[in-house]
């Protein structure tokens, strides 16, 4: 399995010459990746078709791989991502029960059952929750009837004090898969958009207080290839991102206030070994 974590921030610098204001986009980025092997062993099968599974995780190396430095690379961002990687670079054995649809329960050791990745998200930690499930080398089968081309789409509006004006959707589709092993691909797209209230403490931009509203979005795209022989996961490409954007204080000479945005993207690639 391969996990790639990429962070980006987008802002602008302004320069006023005479009566003309010039805007220059500024992009800071950082990226790390890590690889590990997961060996799954079925310990027992229960009467309802659920299986008790032991999964052994072994990192491929003792350090994370960083992307080649570029003019956009930000040292502080790169360091924070390496700290995230360090938390994942450890051998571990976990046990859990997987039902016929692929959902997990009774995960042990218990200390890790509710642990989330240290992504420093504001509530709700959607990206961390998504990543916790995305790295599992299996697939949760949907309620959509198994038929190539079968599609299901649903919209939702979660009610929460944290999520203002939230609205989202989930689309599920079965696709044909090519290869020597009879298989089908499950494509799932999830997205959610909401507004976050400004923080209680003022944020200072150019020595002035800013209490502008933040607009946030979450987007996830998962493509899993499932064997038709035993329902196991052959391969998967899963990615998710969380974007936060807000307008900063107006700048004289510009028709609209500049916008600052940050984006954190997580990509998980899973390949079953022969």
CB neighbourhood size of 183 (10 A): 19
107 or 255: which leads in pLDDT: 107
Token pair for residue 18? 């005479």
Residue 167 Cα to chain centre, angstroms: 18
- Show Cβ contacts of residue 134 under 8 Å, excluding neighbours closer than 6 positions: 222, 238, 240, 266, 268
Per-residue pLDDT, averaged over 83-92, amounts to 82
Domain count, the chain: 1
Q: How confident is the model at residue 205 (pLDDT cuts 50, 70, 90)?
A: very low
User: In this predicted structure, what is the pLDDT of residue 197?
Assistant: 61
Q: Cα(142)–Cα(46) distance, rounded to whole angstroms?
A: 22
Q: Cα(62)–Cα(53) distance, rounded to whole angstroms?
A: 26
* Whether residue 88 has pLDDT greater than 70: yes
Give 228-246 pLDDT, tens digit per residue. 998 889 999 999 999 998 8
Q: How confident is the model at residue 192 (pLDDT cuts 50, 70, 90)?
A: very high
User: In this predicted structure, what is the pLDDT of residue 201?
Assistant: 45
Domain that holds residue 172: 2-271
* Whether residue 204 has pLDDT greater than 80: no
Q: How confident is the model at residue 211 (pLDDT cuts 50, 70, 90)?
A: low
Per-residue pLDDT, averaged over 94-105, amounts to 90
Q: Cα(251)–Cα(139) distance, rounded to whole angstroms?
A: 49
* Whether residue 66 has pLDDT greater than 50: yes
Percent of the chain with pLDDT over 70: 88
What is the pTM for the complete model shown? 0.82
CA atoms within 13 A on the CB side of 185: 14
* Whether residue 173 has pLDDT greater than 90: yes
Q: Cα(154)–Cα(151) distance, rounded to whole angstroms?
A: 10
């Amino acid at each position: 399995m391969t996990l790639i974590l990429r962070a980006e921030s987008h802002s602008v610098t302004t320069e006023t010459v005479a009566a003309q204001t010039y805007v220059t986009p500024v992009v800071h980025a950082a990226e790390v990746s890590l690889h590990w092997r997961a060996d799954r062993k079925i310990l027992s099968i229960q009467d309802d078709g659920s299986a008790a599974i032991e999964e052994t995780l072994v990192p491929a190396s003792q350090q994370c791989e960083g992307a080649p430095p570029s003019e956009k690379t930000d040292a502080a961002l790169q360091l924070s991502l390496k700290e995230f990687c360090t938390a994942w670079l450890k051998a571990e054995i976990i046990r859990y029960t997987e039902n016929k649809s692929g959902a997990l329960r009774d995960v042990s050791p218990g200390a890790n059952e509710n642990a989330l990745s240290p992504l420093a998200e504001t509530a709700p930690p959607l990206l961390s929750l998504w990543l916790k499930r995305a790295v599992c080398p299996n697939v949760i089968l949907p309620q959509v009837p198994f038929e190539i081309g079968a599609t299901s789409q649903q919209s939702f509006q979660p009610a929460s004090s944290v999520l203002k004006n939230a609205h989202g959707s989930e689309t599920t589709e079965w696709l044909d898969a090519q290869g020597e092993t009879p298989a089908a691909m499950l494509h799932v797209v999830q997205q959610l958009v909401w507004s976050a209230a400004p923080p209680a403490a003022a944020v200072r931009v150019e020595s002035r207080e800013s209490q502008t509203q933040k607009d946030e979005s979450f987007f996830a795209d998962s493509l899993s290839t499932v064997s038709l022989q035993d329902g196991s996961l052959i391969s998967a490409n899963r990615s998710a991102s969380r974007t936060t954007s807000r307008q900063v204080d107006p700048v004289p000479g510009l028709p609209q206030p500049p916008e600052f945005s940050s984006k954190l993207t997580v990509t998980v690639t899973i390949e079953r070994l022969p």
